[in-house]
Structure 1
């Protein structure tokens, strides 16, 4: 039985973007991650080692967001997917990277990229 673990609204500061001022000043990025995996072992054992520890996942995602800069949030989303799929129990992951402070010369609420990937066998 496949279930979903969702981590929404993870906020961290990064220096991603194509413009020099984005790299120099940095900005907040918000990430949503959804992991699909069999949750029956964790439900049966009531043991965190039988599932993905979302606190540890959040820490690894923040390390990527605040780490090496990239030009595009598509590239950032792909790197975050790599982190989500590190645990072999995860069959599919979806990541949305929000860039609410994107340098858009018009009033807007959010810019986001969503990418999904399944485990390759």
Structure 2
């Protein structure tokens, strides 16, 4: 069984991008995380240790996005997903969407995002 925890719209400021201006000035990024886990033990115990602490997840995401710059948000999304899988043993899988609403696209657009998904099945032991 896989239940789901969702963290949506986490706003972070980072310096990711291929252009010098993006690395120099930075911009806002918005991150969504969807976690799949068996939460039945947490529901029965009512104990934070038996679930995914979404406050810790938010801090992990924020630290990565506001940390050292990457050229690609693909790298940012993958790094978040991989670190979360390592940090939270209850996770079966995680999906991270990194939105770059102010990407340097010379056309009007609403959003651009990269989504990375990692699961225990795909992890090396």
Match of 2:91 in 1: 90
Match of 2:60 in 1: 60
Q: Is the 8 A contact 1:61 1:83 kept in 2?
A: no
Match of 1:116 in 2: 117
Q: TM-score, normalising length from structure 1?
A: 0.96
Match of 2:81 in 1: 81
CA distance in 2, matches of 1:84, 1:31: 13
CA distance in 1, matches of 2:8, 2:84: 14
Q: Which runs of 5+ in 2 are unaligned?
A: none
4+ residue segments displaced more than 2 Å: none
CA distance in 1, matches of 2:77, 2:33: 10
3-state DSSP class of the match of 2:7?
strand
Q: TM-score, normalising length from structure 2?
A: 0.93
Q: Is the 8 A contact 2:82 2:118 kept in 1?
A: no
Match of 1:47 in 2: 47
CA distance in 2, matches of 1:100, 1:6: 20
- 1:95: Cα distance to partner? 0.6
- 1:83: Cα distance to partner? 2.3
Number of residue pairs aligned between Structure 1 and Structure 2: 121
Q: Is the 8 A contact 1:3 1:37 kept in 2?
A: yes
Q: In terms of mean alpha carbon deviation, does 75-84 or 59-68 score higher?
A: 75-84
- Give the CA RMSD over aligned residues: 0.9
